[in-house]
Structure 1
Amino acid sequence: MGVIGYSIGVIGASLAIALSAFGVAQAMARQPEIADRVFTVFIMSSAFAEALALIGFVVALVVR
């Protein structure tokens, strides 16, 4: 059961990172001069999504 919970957490994190990468690519295509600031926001959002995936992993292990 823990594997199912962790897989759901990983799917959510991967979707969040994919959506933020898509937004970053669009923003950089529209305004290349703000690429540094947008990339910083992308790194932060990716880190938060991965942190949520790790929390899901810990919860899946604890519930088991």
Structure 2
Amino acid sequence: MDLNTIAAAIAVFGAALGAGIGNGAVISKTIESMARQPEMSKELRTQMFIGVGLIEAVPIIAVVVGLLLIFL
């Protein structure tokens, strides 16, 4: 097992951990906001999906970088 493989694993692990924490925070605050102002739920839900999509892009990029570290 070489250092490139370990670096790739650390990159993917860190990105997945960060994305999980970020998604949890975004969804938690969105649900809290919906409970406070139910009339805003459609707008809040739209903003939440945009935020979650952007957060999920980070682990995908980390997997690509990890694969580049392993195979190049």
TM-score bracket relative to the smaller structure: over 0.9
Specify every segment of 5 or more residues in structure 2 that has no aligned partner in the other structure, as ranges.
1-5
2:25 is matched with 19
Q: Choose from 58, 61, 64 the match for 2:67.
A: 61
Q: Any idea what the Cα deviations from partners look like across 1:4-52, whole Å, max 9, x if unmatched?
A: 2101110011111100001101100100000000000110111001111
2 CA distance for matches of 1:18 and 1:46?
A: 9
Equivalences for 1:41-56 in 2 at 5 Å? 41-56=47-62
RMSD over aligned Cα, in angstroms?
A: 0.9
What TM-score comes out, normalization by structure 2 length?
Answer: 0.83
Specify every segment of 5 or more residues in structure 1 that has no aligned partner in the other structure, as ranges.
none
Could you list the structure 1 runs, at least 4 aligned residues long, displaced by more than 3 angstroms after superposition.
none
- Structure 1 or 2, whichever has the larger Rg, is 2
2 CA distance for matches of 1:17 and 1:57?
A: 18
Structure 1 counterpart of 2:45, which letter? Answer: F
What TM-score comes out, normalization by structure 1 length?
Answer: 0.92
Identity of aligned residues (%): 25
Aligned length: 64
1 CA distance for matches of 2:32 and 2:51?
A: 16
